[in-house]
Amino acid sequence: MADIVDIAANADDFQTLVTAVQAASLVESLKSPGPFTVFAPHDDAFAKLPPGTVQTLVQNVPQLARILKFHVVSGKWMKADLEKVDSVISLESSPIGIDTSEGFEVKNATVLAADLEADNGVIHVLDGVILMG
């Protein structure tokens, strides 16, 4: 099985995320043993952001890294685990709201695919980029 970064890099729908992770110098961290849970926005999620947002973030590496770390949680949290909690704490140190009462939502995004297992954790695919606050 591949690690989280390799799975994202080899999928067609995560090119913006992979580029952002590379720009923020987070590749090595996300290739480490972890385990991690990554709430991964697909390319269409990034496309929903206001025009120029991704380019601005790539030019502001500390802010980009902070936003990306908000999408990552320490530990392997499968959907069944997340159904038992209201929130988890991101690597950015902020809580991420979890709602499984009607579907599966993470903060303001819907989970399109859950429990994609990797050697060093799990990926849940989001239809939106989640932000702190």
Query: Residue 52: which CATH number?
Result: 2.30.180.10
| Residue 132 resides in a domain | no
| Residue 85 resides in a domain | yes
Number of domains in the chain: 1
Quote the pLDDT of residue 30: 94
- Give SS3 for 128: coil
- Global pTM? 0.95
Structural domain of 97: 4-126
Q: Per residue of the chain (133 residues), give pLDDT as tens.
A: 899 999 999 999 999 999 999 999 999 999 999 999 999 999 999 999 999 998 898 899 999 999 999 999 999 999 999 999 999 999 999 999 999 999 999 998 999 999 999 999 999 999 999 988 7
| Residue 118 resides in a domain | yes
| Residue 60 resides in a domain | yes
| Residue 131 resides in a domain | no
Pairing of strands 36-41, 121-126: parallel
- The alpha carbons of the chain give a radius of gyration, in whole angstroms, of 14
Range list of β-strands (E), 6-118: 36-41, 72-74, 87-89, 95-99, 105-106, 109-118
Distance of CA 34 to the CA centre of its chain: 14
Quote the pLDDT of residue 54: 87
| Residue 133 resides in a domain | no
Quote the pLDDT of residue 133: 78
> In a 10 Å sphere around its CB, with 0-12 CB exposed, 13-18 middle and 19+ buried, how is residue 102 labelled?
exposed
Quote the pLDDT of residue 1: 83
